[in-house]
């Protein structure tokens, strides 16, 4: 599939983007190992989350959708209630689900084969294999990438682990393994990462201790506890909202209100970055729902100016960097992005993907090992390769609305992994976007 986008102006509308992917994955995982029935409202029905649900169905968990409300009911069987799956668990394109579930399943008394699509099977897993092996997990992998085999163990042993990189997925994998470990598992991180796992564990009644100091944060939990079912309301995904935020900022005479967007402070870095660039963004009706802070986000057309985006910014906006780069291409002056080397091991090498896409549209951009330097100016008509990366596809679809002519984005089929209905929602606010097979 490919997108064809023509210049578009005066974007407007009140919209709600798809549910938060990170929270959706975790709601399924924790609902499955809780005792009782967990009701989840607003879950992302993208291919990644569906893969997570199907994996738990293979392990004996009943998951049903309610026709009237659209809510999902997850019939949890407790921490020790999962069954050995028949056949491999295919996690599709989701690195989040793969790493978190490897942590949960590495302490089970059966063999599990975990795999994914072509993209996922090229992503690094040593970052979880190392700490999980220290806990006693028996993991087989060629070259530290999927597929992996989790061999049965009698039990895991708790460890004190310091994450070598800023990664909520590594932190979460170790904590999930700690649920099945003897003793107290601790994870120390020196940079802020998404805290959805510890928030949700606490919400399910599992005690997580947190010690913060100027050097970082240590989380710890005791193995062998119990989780209890609860109702979850998944907020709109800030990463998905970011595409429409940038769309409103760079197009003329535009105003968009994005409803019920998650603004968790451990992942809302896109907002302060855009504000530094001169964005007219207002957070309205702030409140907390299900333990997660949310707000309605009003965005208006703005004259943007380039800025420096450092590692501390990237850590809180890792998924939004592709669309921030599009905003930088429309800004006056130079934007320098550094400390973003983690982007090279996402669904594509996102530093290279963004640089190549911007160059294809006539933008002056230099590639560095850990980022890029973008000189703002005109975006020209052209054809962009997305490398089958959903965030690259959507970022350059947004670039097309201010181009001098039509922009074609190739390889967009994976958009459904994180944002089903992106095309329809884009058209609803006035973006001239066509999806072509």
Q: Which two tokens stand for residue 406?
A: 């039509």
Q: d(Cα 274, Cα 316) in Å, to the nearest integer?
A: 13
CB 323 within 8 A of CB 330: no
Cis peptide before 249 (omega within 30 of 0): no
Of 70, 185, 86, residue with least CA distance to 137: 185
CB 104 within 8 A of CB 179: yes
Of 165, 160, 173, residue with least CA distance to 192: 165
Catalytic residue among 117, 237, 315, 319: 319
∠ Cα 197 264 393 (to 5°): 90
Q: d(Cα 326, Cα 244) in Å, to the nearest integer?
A: 12
Classify strands 334-337 and 308-309 as parallel, antiparallel or unpaired. Answer: parallel
Classify strands 382-385 and 407-410 as parallel, antiparallel or unpaired. Answer: parallel
Q: d(Cα 111, Cα 113) in Å, to the nearest integer?
A: 7
Q: d(Cα 342, Cα 362) in Å, to the nearest integer?
A: 26
Residue 370 is a catalytic residue: no
3-class secondary structure, 241: helix
Q: d(Cα 375, Cα 264) in Å, to the nearest integer?
A: 31
3-class secondary structure, 45: coil
Sign of the four-CA dihedral 27, 98, 128, 347: negative
Hey, how many other C-beta atoms are within 10 angstroms of the C-beta on 409? 28
Q: d(Cα 51, Cα 101) in Å, to the nearest integer?
A: 12
CB 94 within 8 A of CB 52: yes
Q: Which two tokens stand for residue 339?
A: 């400390």
Question: Which residues have a catalytic role annotated?
Answer: 319
């Amino acid at each position: 599939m490919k997108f064809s986008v023509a210049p578009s102006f005066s974007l407007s509308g009140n919209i709600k983007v798809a549910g938060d992917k990170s929270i959706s994955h975790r709601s399924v995982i924790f609902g499955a190992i809780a005792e009782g029935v967990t009701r989840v409202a607003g879950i992302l029905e993208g291919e990644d989350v569906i893969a997570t649900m199907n994996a738990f169905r293979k392990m004996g968990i009943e998951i049903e959708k309610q026709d009237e409300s659209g809510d999902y009911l997850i019939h949890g069987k407790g921490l020790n209630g999962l069954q050995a799956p028949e056949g491999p668990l295919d996690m599709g394109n989701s690195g989040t689900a793969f790493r978190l579930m490897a942590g949960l399943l590495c302490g089970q008394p059966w063999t599990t084969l975990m795999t994914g699509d072509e993209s996922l099977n090229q992503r690094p897993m040593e970052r979880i294999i190392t700490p999980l092996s220290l806990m006693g997990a028996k993991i087989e992998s060629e070259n530290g990438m999927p597929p992996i085999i989790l061999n049965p163990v009698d039990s895991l042993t708790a460890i004190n682990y310091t994450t070598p990189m800023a990664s909520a997925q590594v932190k979460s994998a170790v904590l999930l393994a700690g649920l099945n470990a003897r003793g107290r598992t601790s994870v120390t991180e020196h940079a802020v990462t998404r805290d959805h796992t510890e928030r949700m564990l606490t919400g399910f009644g599992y005690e997580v201790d947190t010690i913060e100091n100027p050097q970082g944060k240590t989380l710890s939990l005791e193995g062998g506890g119990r989780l209890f079912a609860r109702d979850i309301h998944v907020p709109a995904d800030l990463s998905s909202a970011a595409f429409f935020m940038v769309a409103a900022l760079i197009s003329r005479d535009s105003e968009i209100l994005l409803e019920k967007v998650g603004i968790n402070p451990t992942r809302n870095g896109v907002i302060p970055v855009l504000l530094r660039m001169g964005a007219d963004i207002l957070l309205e009706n702030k409140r907390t729902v299900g333990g997660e802070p949310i707000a309605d986000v009003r965005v208006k057309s703005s004259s943007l100016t380039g800025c420096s985006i450092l590692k501390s910014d990237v850590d809180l906006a890792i998924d939004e960097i592709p669309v921030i780069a599009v905003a930088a291409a429309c800004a006056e002056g130079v934007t320098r992005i550094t400390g973003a080397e983690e982007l090279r091991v996402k669904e594509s090498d996102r530093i290279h993907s963004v640089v190549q896409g911007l160059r294809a549209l006539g933008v002056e951009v230099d590639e560095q090992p850990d980022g890029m330097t973008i000189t703002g100016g005109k975006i020209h008509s052209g054809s962009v390769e997305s490398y089958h990366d959903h965030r690259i596809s959507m970022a350059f679809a947004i670039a097309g609305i201010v181009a001098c002519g039509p922009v074609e984005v190739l390889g967009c089929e994976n958009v459904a992994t994180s944002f089903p209905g992106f095309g329809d929602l884009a058209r609803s606010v006035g973006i001239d976007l066509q999806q072509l097979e």
